C-alpha cells in the first residue's frame, strides 16, 4: 500500500468514527417524555396537546420529544397526577377538580354559578392561578397551562321540569361536586370518568349526568339519552403539568421552548373550546337530541343546590379560598 493511500484510509476511518461519536452525543442528548391524558384523540384537549408536542419538538430541533397517550390508555384520569408526581410520567393532563379532595383550590372552577362564561372563567383562572401553582409546586409539580371545557349542562332521558324530576335517576358524577349534587337531588350517584362513560351509558349503568356538549359528543350520548339542558353551571378546566425535577433537568433553551409552547397551547385551547361549544350543541341537535335552556323552575332548583355547594366549598377553603373569590370579583 502506498503511504498516501494509507493516510487517506486512516482519515476516512477517523471521519466515520467522529461522525459516529457525534451521532451518539445527539442521541443521548435527546429527551423523550410521555404525556398521558384521558380523552379521545379528536377531543380539543387532546388535539391541543398533540399540537403542543409538535411545537416543542420543532422549537427544540427534536431535542425534546413528547408522546401524547390519549384516552386514558397509559393511566386512568384519577392516576395521572400521581404518575407525574412520582415521575412515572414526566407530564400529564387532567381535569383539575378531580383532585378537589386534596385541596379545595383544585375545585374552585366547579363552584356552581361562580364563573359560567368563558370571559368569567378566564378571570377566575387568573385569580386562582397563583394558589393552584403553589399547591402543585408543594407536590413537586409545575403547572404549564390550563384549558377549559364548555359550560356544564345536564343530560337525561326524559323531560326535566324541575329538579324533583331527577329523583331516582342513575347519575354519573366526575368529581366531588357532581357526586354531592347527585346526592342532594336524590339520585343514585356513581363516579365514572369520561373514558368509561360510553360503556356506562350503553349498558344503562347511568341514565343522566352533567357535562359539556363535548363529552356528550365524545360519548355518542344520543345513542342512549334524549335531552340536554344547557344549565351552564360552571366551566371546569384541565391542567397540563410537568414533574418539577424533569423540568429542572432540561437546559435553559429547552425549558424556554417548553414554556413558550405552553403559553401558545393555553391560548389555542381556550379559543378552540370557545369556537366549538356551539358546534357541539348543534351536533347533539343534529343527532336528534332536545337541546334546550332549563325552565325557570329547573334553573332555580339548580341555583338552590348550587348555593349549598358554594357554602360547602367556602367552608372547606376558608380564608384562602375566600381571598381568591374576592380577588376574582374585583376583576
Ligand atoms: N367533560 C369531562 C369533564 C367536564 C367535561 O365537560 C367529563 O365529563 O368527564
Atom of ligand 1 nearest to the CA of 236: 4
Q: What is the largest CA-CA distance in the chain?
A: 100
Whose grid coordinates read 359560567? 116
Please identify every stretch of the chain with a pLDDT value under 50, giving residue numbers as ranges: 1, 10-28
Three-state DSSP class for 65?
strand
How far, in Å, CA of 76 to CA of 216, rounded? 19
290: Cβ–Cβ under 8 A, 6 or more apart, which residues? Answer: 226, 227, 228
Ligand 1 pocket: which of 72, 94, 95 to mutate (most atoms within 8 A of CB)? 95
Q: Is the CB of 206 under 6 A from ligand 1?
A: no
DSSP conformation letters of 174-201: -SHHHHHHHHHTT-EEEE--GGGHHHHH
Query: How far apart are the CA of 234 and the centre of ligand 1, in A?
Result: 11
How far, in Å, CA of 144 to CA of 141, rounded? 9
Domain ranges for the chain:
95-331
pLDDT the model gives residue 8? 52
pLDDT in tens, 5-32: 555 554 444 444 444 444 444 444 799 9
pLDDT the model gives residue 132? 98
How far, in Å, CA of 144 to CA of 94, rounded? 12
Q: Is the CB of 194 under 6 A from ligand 1?
A: yes
Q: Is the CB of 175 under 6 A from ligand 1?
A: no
Query: How far apart are the CA of 211 and the centre of ligand 1, in A?
Result: 5
Q: Is the CB of 236 under 6 A from ligand 1?
A: yes
Whose grid coordinates read 451521532? 23
Q: Is the CB of 216 under 6 A from ligand 1?
A: no
Among protein residues, the one whose CA lies closest to atom 6 of ligand 1: 212
209: Cβ–Cβ under 8 A, 6 or more apart, which residues? Answer: 154, 155, 171, 172, 173, 174, 178, 197
pLDDT the model gives residue 29? 77
Among protein residues, the one whose CA lies closest to atom 9 of ligand 1: 194
Against a cut of 0.85, is the pTM above it? yes
Among protein residues, the one whose CA lies closest to atom 8 of ligand 1: 211
pLDDT in tens, 253-293: 999 999 999 999 999 999 999 999 999 999 999 999 999 99
Query: b vs e for 44-71, b when ≥16 Cβ sit within 10 Å of the residue's Cβ?
Result: bbbbbbbbbbebbbebbeebbebebbbb
Query: How far apart are the CA of 100 and the centre of ligand 1, in A?
Result: 15
- Name the CATH superfamily, with its identifier, for domain 95-331: Bacterial extracellular solute-binding protein, family 7 (3.40.190.170)
Q: Is the CB of 95 under 6 A from ligand 1?
A: yes
Amino acid at each position: 500500500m502506498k503511504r498516501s493511500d494509507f493516510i487517506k484510509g486512516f482519515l476516512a476511518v477517523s471521519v466515520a468514527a467522529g461522525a459516529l461519536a457525534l451521532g451518539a452525543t445527539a442521541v443521548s442528548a435527546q429527551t423523550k417524555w410521555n404525556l398521558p391524558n384521558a380523552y379521545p384523540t379528536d377531543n380539543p384537549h387532546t388535539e391541543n396537546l398533540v399540537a403542543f408536542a409538535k411545537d416543542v419538538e420543532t422549537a427544540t430541533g427534536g431535542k425534546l420529544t413528547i408522546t401524547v397517550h390519549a384516552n386514558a390508555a397509559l393511566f386512568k384520569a384519577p392516576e395521572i397526577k400521581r404518575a407525574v408526581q412520582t415521575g412515572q410520567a414526566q407530564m400529564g393532563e387532567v381535569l383539575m377538580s378531580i383532585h378537589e379532595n386534596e385541596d379545595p383550590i383544585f375545585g374552585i372552577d366547579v363552584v356552581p354559578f361562580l364563573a359560567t362564561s368563558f370571559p368569567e372563567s378566564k378571570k377566575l383562572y387568573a385569580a386562582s392561578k397563583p394558589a393552584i401553582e403553589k399547591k402543585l409546586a408543594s407536590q413537586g409539580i409545575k403547572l404549564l397551562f390550563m384549558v377549559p371545557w364548555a359550560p356544564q349542562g345536564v343530560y337525561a332521558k326524559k323531560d326535566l321540569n324541575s329538579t324533583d324530576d331527577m329523583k331516582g335517576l342513575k347519575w354519573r358524577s366526575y368529581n366531588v361536586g357532581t357526586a354531592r349534587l347527585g346526592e342532594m337531588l336524590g339520585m343514585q350517584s356513581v363516579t365514572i370518568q369520561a373514558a368509561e362513560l360510553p360503556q356506562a351509558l350503553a349498558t344503562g349503568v347511568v341514565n343522566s349526568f352533567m357535562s359539556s356538549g363535548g363529552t356528550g359528543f365524545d360519548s355518542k350520548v344520543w345513542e342512549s339519552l334524549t335531552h340536554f339542558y344547557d344549565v351552564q353551571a360552571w366551566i371546569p378546566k384541565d391542567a397540563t403539568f410537568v414533574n418539577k425535577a424533569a423540568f429542572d433537568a432540561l437546559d435553559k433553551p429547552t425549558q424556554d421552548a417548553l414554556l413558550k409552547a405552553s403559553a401558545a397551547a393555553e391560548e389555542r385551547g381556550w379559543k378552540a373550546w370557545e369556537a366549538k361549544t356551539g358546534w357541539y350543541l348543534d351536533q347533539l341537535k343534529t343527532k336528534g337530541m332536545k337541546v334546550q335552556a332549563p325552565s325557570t323552575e329547573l334553573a332555580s332548583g339548580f341555583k338552590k343546590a348550587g348555593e349549598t355547594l358554594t357554602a360547602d366549598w367556602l367552608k372547606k377553603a376558608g380564608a384562602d379560598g375566600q381571598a381568591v373569590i374576592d380577588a376574582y370579583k374585583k376583576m
